[in-house]
Structure 1
């Protein structure tokens, strides 16, 4: 039994006419009649009662017709699912990220959700260089937004933008009222820094080393969120990406920039060069390559370019 024989049979029943069914199927009527007779011969009983004016299903034909409808419907569903799988893959895209992208990535995801409402996006915090490489190579993520430059033959590391590292302190801090500060002003301060292995920590150490300013490190934590809470408690000062903070004023934190040209870091998007990704996932990666820029960030860039 061929699949197309079931299609022919269902069409004849639905049209109640061989001639009308033949037109719908773009077949000659004799070819259609022969196909139905061959189907009946193959299954061993008549499916249709034919008269000069009417075509009716036999009792056995009714059973076959109902089952044929189910098969054809399931086939249509399967074909649609094949198209969807080809476009969306498993329907899940996993993105590794660092904390400072939290202020612009929602805008990208909001637009993406409108275009691909059935896609699920899983955001995973991935921080160290080793974790980024492991997550990519073990297929834990499709792409990673990171401040780690991965110099590896199997991984793309594409720079997205540079972000400034800012000094944060409690409003009661002795430097809170100064219009501008230097790294030398921070020489005797109690510092809260990120853990060993994180690139931001190394960027800060490099900046202080270049200016010959020693640091007094008393606290090491993994997340910027924890650093901010410790600063709010007036435990010490810290340096984290300016983009971590929203544009809304926060009276519990004072944010200061310095004259250091080294206190910046680059944010990259990284992904495997030879990994197959569905078109829907490629669209998200393409959008992440052009990160959302807030009005204040756009103004800052325009001022730097002038």
Structure 2
């Protein structure tokens, strides 16, 4: 039994067809059939069976598929790690991030490049709890900056800062002159909020629920930048992380602190526990912590 056989089997299980799997693997269908027959002979179990819908996994096949998928993932991750060891100081750092982190993260990277001028970066906006987990487990990124409170035994979740949310309003809105505002004071305003699936939306709606009030959601958006543009046109108000508003300056809007003990969030640095991380990544971790600590002093 070897890695090649496992990859053949997993591909067939996913495609549910020998012909489709053979095409995907770029081998002949007879060769693929022979490889699976040998695999079943070695395991002494029937792993695949035909039914009215095509191919299906047997009970043994289901277990074998689950374990094979895990082994292939670990094998592919190992190859990535070995490649990174060869490219110490000259490789690529892949980072998953949330939109609100882009302002301060780029400042960190600017200083980091002075020490590691040949390092390249891949930046990917990764949103949603499951997407964050999958991107780390599949080694698509070295680490992710996220506001998702990920609970997974394979992932190390490090809090890097906590912050409050603020209300962003157009300068012509009468409430723009207030020093602070309560959630029940904006119930008649058209609220701009992230669409379902975003942690920011959940944090904000949880706060409204805790306060016992219901918001008037008028616009649903995917990017905070879009929310700011709508506010600039005077079409509503929005609630944004304090750090985002601090850097996303607009002369046409005003931010107001929100008087609510329920409206805050934590931002995390998440990485896979058992993955080898190059020295340059560890240095970037240290630079991030140093930058955040300096800004919070």
TM-score > 0.5, shorter chain as reference = yes
Distance in 1 between residues matched to 2:262 and 2:286, nearest whole Å: 29
Q: How far off its partner does 1:214 sit? A: 1.1
Distance in 1 between residues matched to 2:268 and 2:193, nearest whole Å: 22
Distance in 1 between residues matched to 2:264 and 2:208, nearest whole Å: 12
**Does the CA-based 8 Å contact 1:105-1:291 persist in structure 2?**
no
Distance in 2 between residues matched to 1:84 and 1:158, nearest whole Å: 24
Correspondence for 1:168: 168
Q: How far off its partner does 1:162 sit? A: 0.4
Q: Verify: 1:182 aligned to 2:182, yes or no.
A: yes
Structure 1 residues 171 and 294 mapped into 2: Cα distance closer, same or farther (>3 Å)?
Answer: farther
Distance in 2 between residues matched to 1:215 and 1:84, nearest whole Å: 51
Q: Verify: 1:85 aligned to 2:86, yes or no.
A: yes
Unmatched runs of 5 consecutive residues or more in structure 2: 1-82
Q: How far off its partner does 1:249 sit? A: 5.5
Q: Verify: 1:218 aligned to 2:210, yes or no.
A: no
CA RMSD of aligned residues (A): 2.1
Structure 1 residues 247 and 219 mapped into 2: Cα distance closer, same or farther (>3 Å)?
Answer: closer
Structure 1 residues 121 and 197 mapped into 2: Cα distance closer, same or farther (>3 Å)?
Answer: same
Q: How far off its partner does 1:134 sit? A: 1.5
Distance in 1 between residues matched to 2:99 and 2:261, nearest whole Å: 22
Q: 1:157 aligns to what SS in structure 2?
A: strand
Q: What's the TM-score once normalised by structure 1's chain length?
A: 0.66
Q: CA deviation digits over 1:242-268, x for unaligned, max 9?
A: 111345863211101111111110000
Structure 1 residues 98 and 116 mapped into 2: Cα distance closer, same or farther (>3 Å)?
Answer: same
Distance in 1 between residues matched to 2:221 and 2:262, nearest whole Å: 22
Structure 1 residues 281 and 200 mapped into 2: Cα distance closer, same or farther (>3 Å)?
Answer: same
Q: How far off its partner does 1:130 sit? A: 1.5
Correspondence for 1:102: 102
Correspondence for 2:256: 256
Q: What's the TM-score once normalised by structure 2's chain length?
A: 0.67
Equivalent pairs, count: 215
**Does the CA-based 8 Å contact 2:97-2:145 persist in structure 1?**
yes
Distance in 2 between residues matched to 1:134 and 1:247, nearest whole Å: 30
Distance in 1 between residues matched to 2:210 and 2:243, nearest whole Å: 24
Following superposition, which runs of at least 4 residues in structure 1 exceed 6 angstroms of deviation?
A: none
**Does the CA-based 8 Å contact 1:104-1:293 persist in structure 2?**
no
Unmatched runs of 5 consecutive residues or more in structure 1: 1-81, 299-306
**Does the CA-based 8 Å contact 2:168-2:253 persist in structure 1?**
yes
Correspondence for 2:139: 139
Greater mean alpha carbon deviation, residues 277-286 or residues 262-271: 277-286
Listed as ranges, the matches of 1:11-22 within 5 Å are none
Correspondence for 2:274: 274
**Does the CA-based 8 Å contact 1:104-1:294 persist in structure 2?**
no
Larger radius of gyration: 1
Distance in 1 between residues matched to 2:103 and 2:182, nearest whole Å: 27
Structure 1 residues 208 and 281 mapped into 2: Cα distance closer, same or farther (>3 Å)?
Answer: same
**Does the CA-based 8 Å contact 2:232-2:253 persist in structure 1?**
yes
Q: CA deviation digits over 1:67-111, x for unaligned, max 9?
A: xxxxxxxxxxxxxxx9982633x6000111112222321232122
Q: 1:127 aligns to what SS in structure 2?
A: coil
Correspondence for 2:195: 195
Q: How far off its partner does 1:294 sit? A: 6.5
